[in-house]
């Protein structure tokens, strides 16, 4: 798929703005046209570069290919044109990595499209601060995701000023929850650890009491304390595994 001209006008062009003379973005990077930088490839620009409107449009069309390819590669569910437009705009603004590691992508690939607007809203900060330009961009993307009608009114009423460029600032990555942050997962590890200590004690005691390996094994499997500790270890491992699976599927 490719980004539609309508999506380009309503989202990307609207929020990027177009500068025909090179300037330095808030991060000090030489930029021209619709947010084109040398990192995107040709044409290479300097502080003195000047282009025409047609050149700006052509550069944008070439630059978009890599972002369209990113969305086509990462998303495993069929998308409508509006949904594809939103994700290309998001990757153009935030980068492929922020989409690839996001809960939003996991939900899209799980078919949970209704959660996308709220996930988009999380990407509204830069330098730890909420930026109005990013808030407006995420809201416009959410509207475009849901329906075409709402987008025009949103853009007319809340169009950003071209001089601020705050909507171009890359948002802070949204932290991905891990098992290290899971209280249930940590409790499961503690439970399994305590069970392991108990099993170790029972094995040591049985090794002293029995003369050969067969006697040790028979003694262990007839020892209720050993069986209880083994069950505790199994329970802890099971809780940890199912908690990890839940976090990978749902992000929480």
**At which residue do the structure tokens 């996991």 appear?**
106
* pLDDT tens-place string over residues 49-68: 999 999 999 999 999 999 99
**What token pair was written down for 190?**
């503690």
In the residue annotation, 16 being an active-site residue is answered as: yes
Question: Are both 113 and 238 inside the same structural domain?
Answer: no
* pLDDT tens-place string over residues 197-237: 655 565 556 556 655 666 665 665 677 766 676 777 777 67
Residue 4 has pLDDT above 60, yes or no: yes
Is residue 173 assigned to a domain? no
At residue 150, the pLDDT reads: 47
Rounded to two decimals, the pTM is 0.61
From 146, 168, 190, the end of a domain falls on 168
From 16, 68, 94, 141, active-site residue = 16
Question: Are both 201 and 79 inside the same structural domain?
Answer: no
Choose among 204, 237, 242: nearest CA to 220. Answer: 204
Residue span of the structural domain in which 51 resides: 5-168
From 168, 202, 237, the end of a domain falls on 168
**What token pair was written down for 154?**
């949103």
Is residue 82 assigned to a domain? yes
* pLDDT tens-place string over residues 153-185: 455 555 554 444 555 555 555 555 555 655 665
Q: Which residues pair with 33 in a beta bridge?
A: 19
Question: Are both 46 and 143 inside the same structural domain?
Answer: yes
In the residue annotation, 25 being an active-site residue is answered as: yes
In this prediction, residues 28-37 reach a mean pLDDT of 93
Helix then strand then coil, in percent of the chain rounded to 5, is 65, 5, 30
**At which residue do the structure tokens 């003379």 appear?**
21
Tally of domains in the chain = 2
From 6, 25, 30, 96, active-site residue = 25
Q: What is the CATH number of the domain that holds 45?
A: 1.10.530.40
Is residue 232 assigned to a domain? yes
Q: Which residue has the higher pLDDT, 44 or 177?
A: 44
From 134, 168, 202, the end of a domain falls on 168
């Amino acid at each position: 798929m490719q980004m539609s001209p309508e999506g380009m006008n309503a989202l990307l062009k609207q929020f990027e703005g177009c500068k025909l003379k090179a300037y330095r973005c808030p991060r000090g990077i030489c930029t021209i046209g619709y947010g084109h930088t040398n990192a995107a490839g040709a044409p290479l620009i300097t502080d003195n570069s000047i282009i025409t409107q047609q050149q700006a449009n052509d550069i944008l069309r070439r630059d978009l290919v890599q972002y369209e390819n990113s969305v086509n590669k990462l998303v495993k569910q069929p998308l409508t044109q509006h949904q594809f437009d939103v994700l290309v705009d998001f990757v153009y603004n935030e980068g492929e990595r922020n989409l690839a590691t996001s809960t939003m992508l996991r939900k899209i690939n799980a078919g949970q499209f209704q959660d996308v607007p709220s996930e988009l809203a999380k990407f509204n900060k830069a330098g730890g601060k909420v930026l109005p330009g990013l808030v407006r961009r995420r809201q416009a993307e959410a509207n475009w995701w849901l329906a075409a009608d709402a987008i025009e009114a949103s853009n007319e009423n809340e169009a950003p000023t071209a001089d601020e460029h705050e909507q171009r600032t890359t948002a802070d990555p949204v932290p991905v929850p891990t098992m290290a942050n899971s209280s249930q997962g940590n409790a499961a590890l503690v439970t399994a650890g305590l069970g392991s200590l108990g099993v170790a004690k029972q094995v040591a005691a049985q090794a002293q009491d029995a003369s050969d390996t067969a006697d040790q094994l028979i003694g262990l499997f007839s020892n209720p304390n050993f069986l209880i500790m083994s069950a505790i270890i199994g329970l802890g491992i099971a809780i940890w595994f199912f908690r990890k699976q839940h976090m990978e599927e749902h992000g929480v």
